[in-house]
């Protein structure tokens, strides 16, 4: 019998223990899907204040072991990485400790992994430590590393004078190592030292090799392009399931689509907007940051609100966007519902009750909103970038296979034109319902993504280790 592949999955946040964004969803779902394929997978994460378990171990769904790195000084805090005033000043110390502890936990548990799968800058020192501090440690002799970029915009930058805190040789604080314009760049270390790099969609893996999307790392990523690939994230189909979702007013599935309109009418009533099954409702959910394209909405909001539609927005983030959204709410109280908060229950009602889901992102490594909206029979309208380009087929260009609406230029007018195209298509109710059924039958469950990762792990095991110190 073939030996089970062993994978140590390292993440700074894991659903349901701690979450700030999509990384937690990935870390809480991908290992479970891998276990279903026979992988011996274990997870390591910090034990934050919000983690409600006794001891330093727990079992995730399907008995996937989770080990918690404990340190009250570093992790017993209200937030994970930052307060509303800014990042914790000791984040370098916190995640140096986490990376070293993850490796020591593997040794303590006598779990010698074939693959250590690292995620984002908080885990970026693990591949570096394996090829430096742990280079002579036979325990990790056969271990290979995969580093997944969930968002290249966040790289883990720290003042150069803190270098000694990493415990790494001084010669690695150089342009060939982790130095970046006088600062320490943790993600740069992972990009140089990992055996393989993945990101969360094929298009994003190509985009980040360009100056527009590379955030200064495009040269390294081009150099490593032979060991760089993109695998689209999945979503948890047990969580996102309109036929069983307890958070929405009316359950439905692809065979009972007529019931979806009850969710729409409930949403319109709850949000204080006019009730009308023929009024297209557009929903948007996301962090209020530059990345997400809110400035495009602001640019053409007068034109949007002059159309026969209703607009519901849910999110929280930067002060400037809060102010913009508050102005929109005042100006168009009957056409819009602006909800400046984090509200997972309302999010589900929006997915279930809207006709169109809006994602006008400047860049989007993968995007989960469009995949969730498919599940609820809601058609996405998005900018053609990253994972959005990989998962949405434009109905205007391909009505036979289309799944939503795309626009290319990052301009308000391009967004407005796409909305007008969507509204025109919406009023052909028969065609719209055909597409609703089509998107609800798509499979973006974690099973597909996990199968691709498992194949990649097997290939990496047979590759020579990649030492990229120049």
Check if 6-234+447-461 and 257-443 are the same fold. Answer: yes
State yes or no: cis peptide before 29, omega within 30 of 0.
no
Q: What is the DSSP letter of 6?
A: E
| 125 in Cβ contact with 95 (< 8 Å) | yes
From the options 3.40.50.2000, 3.40.50.1820, 3.40.50.1380, 3.40.50.300, give the CATH code of 257-443.
Answer: 3.40.50.2000
Q: In the predicted model, what is the mean pLDDT of the chain?
A: 94
Among residues 229, 236, 155, the alpha carbon closest in space to that of 189 is found at 155
91 vs 183: CA distance, rounded Å: 14
pLDDT, one tens digit per residue, over 330-345 is: 999 999 999 999 899 9
144 vs 151: CA distance, rounded Å: 22
Q: Comparing 207 with 83, which gets the higher pLDDT?
A: 207
| Res. 22 pLDDT band, cuts 50 70 90 | confident
Q: Is 28 exposed, middle or buried (0-12, 13-18, 19+ CB in 10 A)?
A: buried
pTM for this model (two decimals): 0.89
CATH code of the domain occupying 6-234+447-461: 3.40.50.2000
288 vs 409: CA distance, rounded Å: 20
Q: What is the DSSP letter of 111?
A: -
pLDDT of residue 1: 59
Give the residue extent of every domain in the chain.
6-234+447-461, 257-443
The residue with tokens 């709410």 is 329
pLDDT, one tens digit per residue, over 103-113 is: 999 999 999 99
pLDDT of residue 466: 61
What tokens appear for 392 in the block? 């949405």
């Amino acid at each position: 019998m073939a030996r089970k592949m062993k994978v140590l999955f390292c993440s700074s946040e894991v659903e349901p223990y701690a979450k700030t964004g999509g990384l937690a969803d990935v870390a809480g779902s991908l290992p479970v899907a891998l276990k279903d394929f026979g992988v011996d997978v274990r997870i390591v994460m910090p034990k934050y204040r919000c983690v409600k378990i006794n001891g330093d171990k727990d079992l995730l769904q399907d008995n996937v072991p989770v080990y918690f790195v404990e340190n009250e000084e570093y992790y017993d805090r209200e937030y994970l990485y930052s307060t509303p005033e800014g990042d914790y000043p000791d984040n370098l110390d916190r995640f140096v400790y986490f990376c070293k502890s993850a490796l020591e936990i593997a040794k303590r548990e006598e779990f010698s992994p074939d693959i250590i799968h690292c995620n984002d800058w908080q885990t970026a020192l693990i591949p570096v430590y394996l090829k430096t501090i742990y280079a002579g440690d036979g325990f990790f002799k056969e271990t290979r590393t995969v580093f997944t970029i969930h968002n290249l915009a966040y790289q883990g930058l720290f003042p150069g004078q803190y270098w000694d805190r990493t415990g790494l040789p001084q010669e690695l604080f150089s342009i060939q190592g982790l130095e970046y314009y006088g600062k320490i760049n943790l993600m740069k270390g992972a990009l140089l030292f990992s055996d393989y790099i993945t990101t969360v969609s094929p298009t994003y893996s190509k985009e980040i090799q360009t100056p527009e999307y590379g955030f200064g790392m495009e040269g390294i990523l081009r150099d490593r392009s032979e060991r760089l690939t993109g695998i689209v994230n999945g979503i948890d189909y047990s969580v996102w399931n309109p036929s069983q979702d307890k958070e929405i007013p009316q359950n439905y599935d692809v065979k009972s689509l007529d019931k979806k309109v009850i969710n729409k009418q409930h949403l319109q009533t709850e949000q204080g907007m006019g009730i009308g099954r023929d009024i297209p409702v557009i929903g948007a959910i996301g962090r209020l940051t530059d990345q997400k394209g809110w400035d495009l909405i602001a640019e053409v909001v007068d034109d949007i609100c002059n159309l026969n539609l209703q607009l519901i927005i849910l999110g929280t983030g930067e002060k400037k966007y809060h102010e913009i959204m508050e102005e929109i709410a005042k100006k168009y109280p009957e056409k819009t519902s602006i909800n400046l908060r984090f509200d997972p229950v309302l999010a589900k009602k929006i997915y279930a009750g809207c006709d169109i889901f809006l994602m006008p992102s400047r860049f989007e490594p993968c995007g989960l909103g469009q995949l969730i909206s498919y599940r609820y029979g809601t058609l996405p309208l998005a900018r053609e970038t990253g994972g959005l380009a990989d998962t949405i087929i434009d109905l205007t260009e391909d009505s036979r296979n289309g799944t939503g609406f795309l626009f290319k230029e990052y301009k308000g007018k391009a967004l407005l034109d796409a909305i007008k195209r969507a509204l025109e298509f919406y009023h052909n109710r028969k065609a719209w319902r055909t597409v609703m059924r089509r998107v609800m039958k798509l499979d973006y469950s974690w099973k597909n993504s996990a199968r691709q990762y498992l194949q990649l792990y097997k290939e990496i095991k047979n590759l020579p280790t990649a030492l990229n110190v120049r």
